[in-house]
Amino acid sequence: MTVKKPRNEIKKLTERLREVTYLGTAIAVLQWDQEVTMPKKGADARAHTISLLAGLVHNKFLEIDHDGLLSGLKKKLDPSTRAKHGTGHSARKLSPAEATIVRETWRSFSRERKLPETFVKEMAELASKSQSVWAEAREENNFAKFAPYLERMVEKKREEAKLIGFEGSPYDALLDSYEPGMTASEVERIFTDLKAFLVPFLARIKKARQPQQMKSAQVPIEKQVGLSKKIATAMGYDFDAGRIDVSAHPFTTSFHPHDVRITTRYNPKNILESIFPTMHEGGHALYEQGLPHEHFGTPLADATSLGIHESQSRLWENMVGKSLPFWKHWYPKLQKEFPGVFTAPLAHFYASVNTVKPTLIRVEADEVTYNLHIIIRFELEKALLEGTIEVKDLPKLWSDRYKEYLGITPKSDKEGVLQDVHWSTGYIGYFPTYTLGNLYSAQFWNTAKREIPDLEKKIAKGDLQTLREWLRTQIHGHGKSYTAEELAQRITGEKLNPDHFSNYLKEKYEKIYK
């Protein structure tokens, strides 16, 4: 009998995974098209196509183990099995990279095989349709139109949690697919502490003297496009492997490290409303473009968690994009490019960019209030899933919670419960990763400042590439080699520590609000 060589088996597994991933990108292209370019009557046909493809990809993924290839490799991961069979030489130990491929593929595989094909197809079709209905309902400010779809979605997500299995809350089963290893109770613990810090901190800012602000940032849309591209290019975003388009909700999608697309939106009254989404999505895109393309299709070329993903977008949007050093370089450019618009001194501009003021719309929120928006969504979606509240009560609950945490009340569902796309597409359990990302971003930022000499001076000179390279080496290039927790430990020397974030806020906003 010939000795089985893991390297060949890994090669075989990689080829199978690559096929599944290439097919999966077809779905991603169809979804990108749906949000960016599809004419509205195309929605029904699109939902059918996506549903069919989702079923095919699901089956093709499960087929990777049709001959026990994956299960066999999985056994090599487990030290007790290896010892028991004493296969020593013939079962050569997997290299760390091979172990990552097997461990992480096994993780997704074990999850995926619990879902029947019909479930996967129904979910894909519901998500695609429900998103179109949500877009209309939001446009028409008509929650009743969306409610039946959301009800069906919540039901389906409960079913998903049951199929996957869970110990604590059904929420755990969903959260785990976005943030592997994280649990609802751990999120609750972190969020409780964060809320305890944020609410009084916000109250102090509200009472402080408001800094002087600039008046306007009005720039024609055509010219905003050019600036967005310049900043993205400076960040190191490769336009030969990506593009910027417009969508209602800015997002990033990746079909391959060589085709990573971002969207933003433009408000002719305020150029900043396109700059920050561009930097945010640009941060996501750098992660995706920085994944090692030679491992495409395997977990080595896949982001480790959505929390880590969001740490990249927030680091670029906030720690860089809303910092004084960044604008020391870019504000004079703005002034030169749009004469007569940016007449305020840099200090006023900087204060405007960092105004803290409770708002109704999450994506417009400042760094201080942002996480309160997330906490509200987490509390509500968890309760929805656990069945302690009902879809029909959402608008009122939403309103009450905003009053309580932020002191403001939406006048319509459009600026309330209908504002986010997530629930319509079945992204329940996704919101907490935004706040986790904020926490990680401050922690990584502190390490970056420590490790990169004169980082902020470099940024003030327009050099963003040094930071990009550091992030690529520390994070992007590793794919799923390390979990979020391991990555934090490796890079920063400690696990997720929310103090970095609260200290960052204190230091920054005490300067601005004195």
Please pick, among 9, 160, 281, 367, the residue that the annotation labels catalytic: 281
CA distance 308 to 110: 23
CA distance 378 to 184: 9
Alpha carbons within 13 A on the beta-carbon side of 493: 6
Minimum distance between the CB of residue 264 and a copy of itself, rounded to whole angstroms?
A: 15
| Pick 20 or 512: Cβ nearer a copy of itself | 20
In three-state form (DSSP H/G/I as H, E/B as E, the rest C), the secondary structure along 136-203 is HHHHHCCHHHHHHHHHHHHHHHHHHHHHHCCCCCHHHHHHHHHCCCCCHHHHHHHHHHHHHHHHHHHH
CA distance 152 to 434: 25
Contacts of 498 (CB under 8 A, 6+ apart): 190, 193, 194, 439
| Pick 56 or 351: Cβ nearer a copy of itself | 56
DSSP-derived secondary structure for 98-136: HHHHHHHHHHHHHHHTTS-HHHHHHHHHHHHHHHHHHHH
Torsion of CA 230, 236, 240, 242, to 10 degrees: -80
CA distance 389 to 258: 44
Minimum distance between the CB of residue 139 and a copy of itself, rounded to whole angstroms?
A: 14
| Pick 160 or 259: Cβ nearer a copy of itself | 259
| Pick 46 or 157: Cβ nearer a copy of itself | 46
Minimum distance between the CB of residue 299 and a copy of itself, rounded to whole angstroms?
A: 18
Q: In what order do the strands lie in the sheet with 259-264?
A: 244-246, 259-264, 252-256
Cα–Cα distance list, 241 to 1, 236, 344 (Å): 47, 11, 37
| Pick 298 or 305: Cβ nearer a copy of itself | 298
Which helix (DSSP H) or strand (DSSP E) does residue 259 occupy? strand 259-264
Minimum distance between the CB of residue 54 and a copy of itself, rounded to whole angstroms?
A: 11
Tokens representing 12 are: 């075989």
| Pick 238 or 364: Cβ nearer a copy of itself | 238
Cβ burial of 261 (10 Å; 0-12, 13-18, 19+) is: buried
Q: Using the 8-state DSSP alphabet, how is residue 316 labeled? A: I
Minimum distance between the CB of residue 285 and a copy of itself, rounded to whole angstroms?
A: 11
Minimum distance between the CB of residue 201 and a copy of itself, rounded to whole angstroms?
A: 43
Where do contacts with a copy of itself occur on this chain (CB under 8 A)?
19, 22-23, 25-26, 29-30, 33, 37-42, 44-46, 48-49, 52-53, 56, 238-243, 245, 255-256, 258-259, 261, 296
Minimum distance between the CB of residue 312 and a copy of itself, rounded to whole angstroms?
A: 20
To the query of whether residue 364 is one of the catalytic residues in this protein, the response is no
| Pick 288 or 310: Cβ nearer a copy of itself | 288
User: Which residue, 376, 439, 432, is CA-closest to 406?
Assistant: 376
Q: Which residues are catalytic, by number?
A: 281
